[in-house]
Amino acid sequence: MGTHVLEVQNLGKSYPAIPIQRGGSSIRDLLQSLFPARSSNRISQNGDGFWALRNVSFSAEQGDVIGLLGHNGAGKTTLLRIISEVTEPSEGIVRVRGRVGSLLGANAGFHPELTGRENIYLVGALLSVERKKIDTLFDEIVAFAELARFIDEKVKHYSSGMGIRLGFSVATHLLPEILILDELLAVSDVGFQVKALRRVHSISTQDRLIFFVSHNTEAILELCNKVLVLHKGKSIFFGSPSEAVNKYLDSIK
Amino acid sequence: MTIEENHRIQWRELRPRVFSLPLTIPILWRYRTVLRCLIVREFQIRYRPLSAGILWVGLQPIFFALVIAIPLSRISNLGIDGMSYLSFVLTALVPWIFFANCTQSSAVSLIEAEELIKHASFPRALIPIAMVGSKIVDLVFALIFLWVWIWFKHENVISLATWLLPLVLLWLIFLSMGVSLFASAACAQFRDLRYVVPFIVQVLFFASPVVYSTGSLHGTAAQLILLNPATPIIEATRAAFLGTPLPPNMIVLRSLALTLVLFLVASVYFGRMSRRIADIL
């Protein structure tokens, strides 16, 4: 077992209920919030927004493969976003060591206007990997993703399967200390799923912390040594995979 | 210790922050590779498909100038003597186009980089800064073209203004960066603004002495134009090439101060907004 690389204490994340919502506001929203119509629901304007996460605590070590289970909207992606420093916690503390690389959904972390090749270098730069190292790994990355023909096309033209393949390949070759794999299996075909799972297996022996999010409980049981189960933003279990799966299945009944 | 090793050992604490640190030079340096990736990308858009890409950068101001100058040169009393109206407009167009392009491409830059922002952690200001950075190269090319043109027409005048040109350009970049930061943050927060920006830029065009000289205005119009921090920049650029008078010191100082204030406000606003940006995009 390895050293601690992640500590999450009482983590909470809220989104305000006032019109600064997802998708951005419009000027109309801004004006509306300044001059609310009489019939509008003023209750929504207090501080209590929507808590995507509340009171989540756990810790993880190098070499762990942590599964993340929960219904849609339970807060899994939010948690991972906070750990990747993409967004900030509203309360609590997260302590993390090492670079975090995420694959959150298809075409994740890629700039749509850049080609696959450029994105590989961009992600490498974001992970502070030296350009020379990326050069040496480049061919392997493309080969694993089976994208040699498309590597010089803009990522916005990739199908979601292609995006996942590239993202996964980049992440697992550049190997940041903390690796996040969110919904890897949902969009990829069976062939790639097998390949990917095999690769996750082989990485897990390399002292990385891996987060694995999936609704595929079999894969979770196969790969993970600890599982965190979230339900409506709260952590309802953290521990052995088999118990976790049961808790998860109970929670969604 | 390499950055890699340092990352492995140092704990980072993520907690709700009361205020966020501004983007500093050391941070910019640390992310220089990312910045380079983003800037190089902008180049390739411009210079790859049309190998005339470089030409277009130089031709754009000339095109623009021709479109404006030919009809307007019929109007007298715009305050020009000793040079063709075309050159008059051209020298002002080069800095103007830089400013306008920076503003317009930065405004939508954060919105377009939504995927990247939502999945990777990096100082968000890199996005609009990369936009401005790529336009700087365009500016250099345009200036070279401009110099050749003016020289060719024997209208070049070397004066104090010519030596001051590098400083004026730095000022221009600084102003554009402030406006870009502000525009990108505002458009990320209020999506509709992206459609308003081109309109605002148009208004600013007429509020700047591009097609007329500052001296030709009187009264309130003149006062308003002098409030525009871009005004002395444009006049000074024109002066550097054509030997027209430099703007008075007081105006310059006032505009410099305005530029600085704008930059500070933009930075603070951008910093505050970028903390929430992954949530609001």
Tokens of A10: 């009482």
From A45-49, A124-128, B71-75, B177-181, the region with the lowest mean pLDDT: A45-49
Task: State the burial class of residue A64 (Cβ atoms within 10 Å of its Cβ: 0-12, 13-18, 19+).
Answer: buried
Predicted pLDDT at A104: 59
Q: Which residue of B has its CA nearest to A10?
A: B15
Predicted pLDDT at B25: 76
From A3-7, B56-60, B156-160, the region with the lowest mean pLDDT: B56-60
**In which band, very low, low, confident or very high, does the pLDDT at A58 lie, cut at 50, 70 and 90?**
very high
Predicted pLDDT at A160: 82
Question: Which of B109-123, B165-179, B244-258: highest mean pLDDT?
Answer: B165-179
Predicted pLDDT at B196: 94
From B119, B188, B275, residue closest to A104, measured CB to CB: B119
Residues of chain A in contact with residue B192, where contact means CB-CB under 8 angstroms, are: 26-28
Residue A84's domain comprises 4-251
From A15, A22, A177, residue closest to B8, measured CB to CB: A177
Size of interface A-B (CB pairs under 8 A): 136
Contact B34 A122 (CB under 8 A): yes
pLDDT reading at A44 higher than 50: no
From B24-33, B92-101, B138-147, B220-229, the region with the lowest mean pLDDT: B24-33
From B31, B115, B190, residue closest to A25, measured CB to CB: B190
The H-assigned helical ranges of chain B are 3-9, 25-30, 32-47, 53-72, 85-112, 114-119, 126-152, 160-189, 193-206, 219-227, 230-242, 249-280
DSSP string, B191-203: TTHHHHHHHHHHH
From B4, B34, B191, residue closest to A126, measured CB to CB: B34
Tens digit of pLDDT for each residue in A107-141? 667 888 888 898 899 888 888 888 899 999 999 99
Question: In sequence order, what are the residues at sequence separation of 6 or more whose Cβ sits closer than 8 angstroms to the Cβ of residue A48?
Answer: A14, A17
Residues of chain B in contact with residue A135, where contact means CB-CB under 8 angstroms, are: none
Contact A121 B37 (CB under 8 A): yes
Give the pLDDT mean for B175-185: 96
Predicted pLDDT at B51: 57
Contact B38 A122 (CB under 8 A): yes
Domain CATH code at residue A211: 3.40.50.300
Contact B15 A109 (CB under 8 A): no
Q: In total, how many domains does chain A have? A: 1
Among residues A115, A112, A114, A123, the alpha carbon closest in space to that of A152 is found at A115
Give the pLDDT mean for B218-233: 87
Please tell me the distance from the alpha carbon of residue A94 to that of residue A7, in angstroms, as a whole number: 6
The C-alpha of B111 sits at a distance from chain A's nearest C-alpha, in angstroms, of 10
Contact A108 B115 (CB under 8 A): yes
Predicted pLDDT at B156: 78
Question: Which of A19-33, B68-82, B151-165: highest mean pLDDT?
Answer: B151-165
A148 versus B281: the higher-pLDDT residue is: A148
% of chain B beyond a pLDDT of 70: 85
From A224-238, B147-161, B178-192, the region with the lowest mean pLDDT: B147-161
From A25, A85, A95, residue closest to B11, measured CB to CB: A95
Contact A118 B275 (CB under 8 A): no
Using the CB atoms, write b or e for B180-196: b if 16+ within 10 Å: bbbbbbbbbbbbebbee
Residues of chain A in contact with residue B12, where contact means CB-CB under 8 angstroms, are: 85, 95-97
Interchain contact A3–B (C-beta under 8 A)? no
Residues of chain A in contact with residue B126, where contact means CB-CB under 8 angstroms, are: none
This prediction has a pTM of 0.85
Interchain contact A88–B (C-beta under 8 A)? yes
Cβ atoms of residues A209 and A5 within 8 Å: yes
Tens digit of pLDDT for each residue in A85-96? 888 899 999 999
Q: Which residue of B has its CA nearest to A26?
A: B190
Please tell me the distance from the alpha carbon of residue A164 to that of residue A79, in angstroms, as a whole number: 20
Question: In sequence order, what are the residues at sequence separation of 6 or more whose Cβ sits closer than 8 angstroms to the Cβ of residue B193?
Answer: A27, B107, B183, B186, B187
Give the pLDDT mean for A62-81: 89
pLDDT reading at A184 higher than 90: no
Q: Which residue of B has its CA nearest to A207?
A: B8
From A45-49, A56-60, B23-27, the region with the lowest mean pLDDT: A45-49
From A15, A86, A122, residue closest to B118, measured CB to CB: A86
From B3, B14, B37, residue closest to A89, measured CB to CB: B14
Residues of chain B in contact with residue A23, where contact means CB-CB under 8 angstroms, are: 191, 281
Predicted pLDDT at A21: 47
Regarding an ipTM greater than 0.85, the answer is no
Q: Which residue of A has its CA nearest to B113?
A: A111
The C-alpha of B245 sits at a distance from chain A's nearest C-alpha, in angstroms, of 43
Residues of chain B in contact with residue A99, where contact means CB-CB under 8 angstroms, are: 4, 7
pLDDT reading at A38 higher than 60: no
Please tell me the distance from the alpha carbon of residue A206 to that of residue A201, in angstroms, as a whole number: 10
Q: Compute the mean pLDDT over every residue in chain A, rounded to the nearest whole number.
A: 82
Predicted pLDDT at A27: 62
pLDDT reading at B174 higher than 90: yes
Residues of chain B in contact with residue A177, where contact means CB-CB under 8 angstroms, are: 7-8
**In which band, very low, low, confident or very high, does the pLDDT at A46 lie, cut at 50, 70 and 90?**
very low
